[in-house]
Chain A
Amino acid sequence: MRSARFSRGLSDYQIKMTFIMPTMILLILMNIFPLLWSLYLSFHRYKASMPNRPARFIGVQNYARLLTDPEIWGYFQTTAYFVVLAVITQFIIGFGLALLLNREFRYKGFVTTLILLPMMLSPVVVGLFWRFIFASDTSGLVNYFLSPLLGQPIGWTTDPKVAMLAIVIVDTWMWSPFMMLIALAGLSAVPKYLYEAADVDRASRWFKFRWITLPLVSPLLLIALLFRTMDAFKMFDIVYVLTREGGPGTATETVSMNLYKLAFRNYNTGKACAMAYLLLIIIVALSNIYVKYLNKVRGEA
């Protein structure tokens, strides 16, 4: 009887559950549980390196200590400075490149692929070879060309006033193509007849850009900005490799870099969890601002 029923097949509900369950189990194990467990740990004094010392509940002490620590605020400021500088530069360059590429010309596909290459590299590899390019003596490619003009080499990774610029340049080199790609997708979706109609009305280039291109592309640009902001806020790899763990001093020490040290060098697990939650809250808040603005732009469009 059972086998006959089995051979007849599963009900719709059972089939649905069979397909959903593996994903659900994975999500619960890999995402939901760690999220809740780290929230629990953020209210405890706990070091993962000391498994023989049980976690001790200390309320919001980890959060309070983080929020009243001027050094932590310094890392947040460094991160914010990097995010603003890097994302704006990438936006301008990426959108500019997209406008240039949004026309037909010979070897367009090849040129587009070349521009996209940096985005496909591993950030650690990028950090390593820019370390050589930015070497602070004349053995570095940039200083080899610049020092005869400036009279002395620039301390790209050794001067605290310049190091952040080096990080922004590398991140921009790597991620402007992403901005370009999204903007290009938006630009190619703008209907041609709108431009033709504007041409009939003898509209200026600026008018066409301001009132046709920009409004139609801006929802996609906002999505690109959202992704890049979230990603830049988590900047770790390039800082770890290029400026050797956020140096010189603390000039490029981002929140993620400090979080890594807190979690995996010092094994201050409770405090690291609290810091990760603060970072999460900030990223969620920033994303919400973008999403609200995105909805507004969509509504207007």
Chain B
Amino acid sequence: MKKLACYFVMLTLFVLIIATPPTDAQEKLTVAWAQWDPANYLTELSKDFTAETGIDVDVVQISWSHFQDQVFTAFVGKSDRYDIVIGDSQWLGRNSVGGHYIELTDWIKENIDVDSIYATAMEAFAEYPKGSGKYWALPAEVDANGFLYRTDLFEAAGEKEAFKEKYGYELAPPETYRELRDIAEFFTRPPDLYGVAPWYSKEYDGITMGFQQVMWSFGGSYGDAETYKVNGYINSEDVVKALEYYKSLKAFAPPDAPNYYWAETLDAYKAGKVAMAMDYFAFFPGAVNPDQNPNYYDKTGFFISPKGPKGHAISIGGQGMSISAYSKNQETAKRYMKWFMQKPVQEKWAQLGGFTPHKEVLQSEVFLTATPFNRAFAASFPYLRDFWAVPEYAELLEACQTGWNQVVIGSKSAKEALDGIARKHEAIFEDAGYYD
């Protein structure tokens, strides 16, 4: 019996030891973000916050392919694992309506100089519903869809002459989609060189982010943001033309282009396969880094996404900083966000490579000359637009991704696919009660 009691005491002690969490006197904030360079910049920047306050900041980097799944799974499980989430603009609707983000409207009014931030960034990354004045985030990394191009090809005398002879105008970074197509056609010399690498991938929001800016610039739209009516908008004649145009670029892209998203277009560019490549500005540091792009790092130029026949719009990238409703450190998180939005911190953020939403910092000569692509990024700002940010965005996105990809691979005609997307979008809105 004594022996049994002894075992029992030992077992209890063992359970107590392993069940007791280690005491950590140091206060700590956990920030969830995707695995990319800006997250490294934030880790570096946050050291200043730790030095000032003594609060540790752990920027958890989640691979892009699992970023959304991992964050949403944590939210569904009401986990307090993350204090701050730096999430996509499309997530705003779902996470605000779903109660996963805390509302920051009053706190922002009292603590943040909203006028110092670009209104486009506040609307895209912080406000839901759009135009309501309700804020759930602060813009952290504002990004845009842009292009890189090979300066050695564009500036070669022989190429310039041949181009002018064929198309009747000077070879230069394209300003319109018609010019982009001409240049792409001109440089298509398979199997070694192709004209352009656009985003066609069915993964996550790949083809949508690539095509939507063409759609808007051709005069199309997703629908009426007031009534949520879609039929007649997304399947209008303008969008059909835009989609046919976007598909036509496939003839000047490498054979594996239907799988291209940001990583693949950058890889194709670095491998010397293409003369021009579409990508987010936040990935451009990889193109000018001699270690990552040894062949073309000094032969790379940048231009903003071109304008179309009926306007100029560019897909917004980047993320906003929100506080998890399940965090136990919400006040500390607010303190961190307030610190992050200060002008000197934004200046350092920009110096490290972050894309600031701060008006003055963004237009300062220091920012514009910090990298070879910052000027093109700043020029993109007035044209930034976003996908639906409603709670049902994932279903809407899924319909677009599949439909547009089917057009690119030739499974459906543009009209057929767009009519299908319009039907699905209206069914999703109807189901969610937007027409009641």
Whether B202 lies near A137 (C-beta < 8 A) is no
Whether B202 lies near A7 (C-beta < 8 A) is no
Whether B406 lies near A158 (C-beta < 8 A) is no
Whether B259 lies near A244 (C-beta < 8 A) is yes
Residues of B near A251 (CB, < 8 A) are 409, 411
Q: In the complex, which residue of chain B has the Cβ closest to the Cβ of A134?
A: B256
Bound-state Cα–Cα, A5 to B381, Å: 81
Report the minimal beta-carbon distance from A9 to chain B, rounded to whole angstroms: 11
Q: Is A191 an interface residue (CB 8 A)?
A: no
Q: Which of A6, A153, A248, A264 contacts B69 (CB 8 A)?
A: A264
Interface size class of A (residues with CB under 8 A): 20 to 34
- Give chain A's interface secondary structure class: loop
List 28 contacting pairs A-B, 8 Å CB cutoff, sorted by A. Answer: A7-B1, A47-B98, A49-B98, A49-B391, A50-B94, A50-B98, A50-B99, A50-B391, A51-B76, A137-B256, A137-B273, A153-B255, A158-B259, A159-B409, A160-B411, A244-B259, A247-B258, A247-B405, A248-B409, A249-B402, A249-B411, A249-B412, A250-B406, A250-B411, A251-B409, A261-B398, A266-B395, A266-B398
Q: Is A265 an interface residue (CB 8 A)?
A: yes
Using a CB–CB cutoff of 8 Å, the interface residues on chain B facing chain A are: 1, 4, 68-69, 72-73, 75-76, 78, 94, 97-100, 191, 201-203, 254-259, 271, 273, 391-392, 394-395, 398, 402, 405-406, 409-412
Q: Is A245 an interface residue (CB 8 A)?
A: yes
Report the minimal beta-carbon distance from B50 to chain A, rounded to whole angstroms: 33
Q: In the complex, which residue of chain B has the Cβ closest to the Cβ of A159?
A: B409
Whether B98 lies near A266 (C-beta < 8 A) is no
Given contacts A137-B255, A137-B256, A160-B411, 4 further A-B contacts (CB under 8 A): A49-B94, A159-B409, A248-B202, A265-B394
Q: Is A31 an interface residue (CB 8 A)?
A: no
Whether B94 lies near A248 (C-beta < 8 A) is no
Residues of A near B409 (CB, < 8 A) are 158-160, 247-249, 251
Q: Is A218 an interface residue (CB 8 A)?
A: no
Tell whether A137 pairs with B254 under 8 Å between CB atoms, given A159-B409, A248-B409: yes
Report the minimal beta-carbon distance from A107 to chain B, rounded to whole angstroms: 39
Bound-state Cα–Cα, A47 to B432, Å: 11
Residues of A near B75 (CB, < 8 A) are 49
Mark out the residues of chain A between 127 and 174 whose CB falls within 8 Å of any chain B CB in the assembled complex: 135-139, 153, 155, 157-160
